[in-house]
């Protein structure tokens, strides 16, 4: 495969600059949200205005004329914020997750598992991180390895946006660069969000656990007037912004090499060898000009999986075709290693 220029910037760094055109008006009065940073609590949604129409394709396309939507988009009020607590069953999402990153509802078991492991609502994760989640899942499916929580957090660790004890979005970083960042700077997403409402039993069951006894703050089961346990439904992962995630340091969520099972170790090795087999890419500036070394020769660096191209695939067949362009290199590399051992 021909060498491809790689955009300037080594290592990748996620730019966290504020959107210049977005004004901050803090309307949040709930003291339980005092920990939230200025932008999430200050940016209204453009879709609170009726003149703006949101992208509302949330589920896989279905050509059947009697297809019933399981999830619908509702407009937030002008005073609501992405960190607001919405009525039961409703939850906020950034439009970019569905429009550009290719996420679909209901979330897969793996995606829901990532949110649950982190103790974060989907909207608390930076879009680059949501792109990593989807790209990882597609790659694992292509390589026929398990997309597991331990494997994912062996590759990714956390970076938090905090200022003065206030927290905004949580990002994912990599120790070994297997996946290219979706974008160095994702702009224009912060005021494009809306509320998602599940409208069918199937939709509710994808988000909520079965009814179980409800406990008080001390962990004791709540009882009704007749002495029977009070039953309630809990979500499989947070749907609103909560601070529980910050009770632990970032290392708490990471999987160390010693904590991985044998199958995850094999999967990690397969994924690393797959990426290591890619032809290096020329290191270039943002203008496309080669970065030269001291002897005026083009410089090269390892080429990771193209996350942006991968999540923009409309079907798994397209994703497999993209990943398959590099499969021959991977198989040749594996054959050479096997031959060398014998």
Q: Where are the domains of the chain?
A: 19-201+236-258, 264-341
Does residue 316 carry a pLDDT above 50?
yes
Q: Picking from 31-35, 77-81, 220-224, 244-248, which range would have the lowest pLDDT averaged per residue?
A: 220-224
Cα R_g (the chain), whole angstroms: 22
pLDDT digits (tens, 9 = 90+) for 44-96: 999 998 888 999 999 987 556 677 899 999 999 999 999 999 987 899 999 99
pLDDT digits (tens, 9 = 90+) for 257-275: 999 999 999 999 999 999 9
This prediction has a pTM of: 0.82
Does residue 9 carry a pLDDT above 50?
no
Would you place residue 6 in the very low, low, confident or very high pLDDT band (cuts 50, 70, 90)?
very low
Does residue 190 carry a pLDDT above 80?
yes
Percent pLDDT > 70 in the chain is 79
Q: Are 197 and 74 in contact (CB under 8 A)?
A: yes
Would you place residue 3 in the very low, low, confident or very high pLDDT band (cuts 50, 70, 90)?
very low
CA distance 59 to 206: 13
Q: Picking from 62-76, 82-96, 104-118, 326-340, which range would have the lowest pLDDT averaged per residue?
A: 326-340
Does residue 328 carry a pLDDT above 50?
yes
Mean pLDDT of 126-139: 98
E strand intervals along 22-86: 71-74
Does residue 208 carry a pLDDT above 70?
yes
Q: How many CB atoms lie within 10 A of CB 269?
A: 11
Which residues share a beta bridge with 197?
72
pLDDT score, position 80: 97
pLDDT score, position 50: 84
pLDDT score, position 338: 46
Does residue 215 carry a pLDDT above 90?
no
pLDDT score, position 297: 58
> Which three-class secondary structure state does DSSP give residue 193?
strand
DSSP string, 194-258: EEEEE-SHHHHHHHBPPPEE-B-TTSPBPB-TTSPBPEE--BSS--S--SGGGGS-GGGGPPPGG
Backbone angles phi, psi at 87, to 5 degrees: -55, 155
> Up-side HSE of residue 338: CA atoms within 13 Å toward CB?
6
Provide the sign of the torsion angle of the four alpha carbons 250, 256, 144, 280, taken in this order: positive
């Amino acid at each position: 495969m021909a060498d491809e220029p790689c955009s300037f910037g080594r290592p990748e760094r996620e730019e966290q600059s504020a959107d210049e055109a977005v004004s901050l008006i803090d309307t949040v009065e709930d003291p339980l949200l005092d920990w939230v940073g200025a932008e999430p609590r200050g940016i209204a949604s453009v879709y609170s205005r009726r003149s703006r129409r949101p992208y509302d394709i949330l589920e896989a396309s279905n050509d059947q004329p009697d297809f019933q939507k399981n999830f619908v988009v509702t407009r937030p009020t002008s005073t609501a914020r992405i960190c607001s607590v919405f009525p039961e069953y409703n939850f906020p999402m950034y439009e970019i997750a569905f429009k550009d990153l290719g996420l679909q509802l209901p979330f897969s078991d793996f995606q829901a598992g990532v949110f649950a492991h982190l103790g974060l609502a989907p909207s608390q994760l930076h879009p680059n991180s949501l792109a990593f989640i989807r790209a990882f899942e597609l790659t694992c499916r292509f390589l026929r390895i398990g997309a597991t929580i331990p494997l994912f957090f062996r590759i990714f660790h956390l970076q938090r946006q905090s200022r003065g004890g206030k927290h905004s979005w949580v990002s994912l970083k990599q120790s070994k660069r297997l996946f290219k960042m979706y974008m160095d700077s994702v702009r224009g997403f912060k005021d494009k969000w809306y509320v998602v409402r599940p409208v069918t039993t199937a939709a509710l069951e994808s988000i909520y656990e079965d009814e179980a006894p409800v406990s008080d703050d001390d962990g004791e089961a709540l009882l009704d007037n007749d002495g029977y346990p009070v039953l309630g439904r809990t979500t499989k992962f947070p749907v609103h912004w909560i601070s529980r995630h910050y009770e632990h340091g970032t290392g708490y969520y990471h999987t160390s090499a010693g904590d991985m099972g044998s199958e995850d170790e094999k999967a990690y090795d397969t994924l690393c060898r797959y990426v290591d087999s890619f032809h290096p890419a020329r290191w270039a500036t943002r203008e496309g000009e080669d970065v030269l070394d001291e002897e005026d020769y083009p410089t090269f660096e390892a080429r990771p999986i193209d996350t942006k191209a991968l999540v923009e695939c409309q079907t798994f067949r397209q994703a497999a075709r993209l990943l398959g362009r590099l499969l021959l290199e991977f198989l040749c590399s594996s054959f050479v290693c096997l031959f060398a051992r014998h």
